[in-house]
Structure 1
């Protein structure tokens, strides 16, 4: 790294054990992209109302030549993020996927599919969800992107077809269209790939 790692602690007491874990995960990021110029991490526990717990949030900003890749918030199951180690694990797993995708894009190793990409809905929250494609990449989607019966009818584990938007939003790659499909369609696509 050209610039030393920066770790900031907001509304949470600094932990040597957690800092050691974060530094170890940062050291492994070079496996996914060889020239990382800087990395800034914020560990925080935002203030919430009495009805919500205080889950940990991690923001990772990685700068590479001509790009900045950001993982913000808690990209996993929020109930798990009362444990800071799980918040670190989920955030770094997401950053590794993003760095690997960026590296493949630069090398031109992006897969071409015969039709629209297909995925499985892996998480659904109030007002947004995530679908995982066969390569492990997770795509964010908003309710207004879901066709047919809509967002409310979509369940975790449901197969979908996606149209991925150009560029990335705050939550990473984003779908501009999500269309529920049958499980048979998804299995046929997987057999064709083999």
Structure 2
């Protein structure tokens, strides 16, 4: 997957996350890539903000960027569901 397509996919998934959690006012992402034992590893970090709050979330490192995206989104969903000021909207 080329970088432009990957960035588009990340933005789409983040928009869907914001739609599920309407209180979220901003969500920024950073995709980290590094070499470990000769293999590429990826982790996606999310900076999620809602009125008067912020949380930083990172999924587990994965062997591919889409796996890192899924891991970060799952971690974000878990975190947001635990926040008292954030309610899930329509799926």
Aligned residues of 1:32 and 1:96 also touching (Cα < 8 A)? no
Cross-structure match for 1:106: 85
Distance 2:39 2:35 in 1: 9
3-state secondary structure, aligned to 2:34: coil
Give aligned pairs, total: 85
3-state secondary structure, aligned to 1:106: coil
Match for residue 49 of structure 2 among 63, 66, 77: 63
Matched, 1:84 2:65: yes
- After TM superposition, the score normalised by the length of structure 1 is 0.39
Deviation (angstroms), 1:100: 2.3
5+ residue gaps, structure 1: 1-13, 108-194
3-state secondary structure, aligned to 2:9: helix
Deviation (angstroms), 1:106: 2.8
User: Pairwise CA RMSD of aligned residues?
Assistant: 2.1
The higher radius of gyration belongs to: 1
3-state secondary structure, aligned to 2:41: coil
Distance 1:52 1:20 in 2: 28
Cross-structure match for 2:40: 54
5+ residue gaps, structure 2: 87-91
- After TM superposition, the score normalised by the length of structure 2 is 0.76
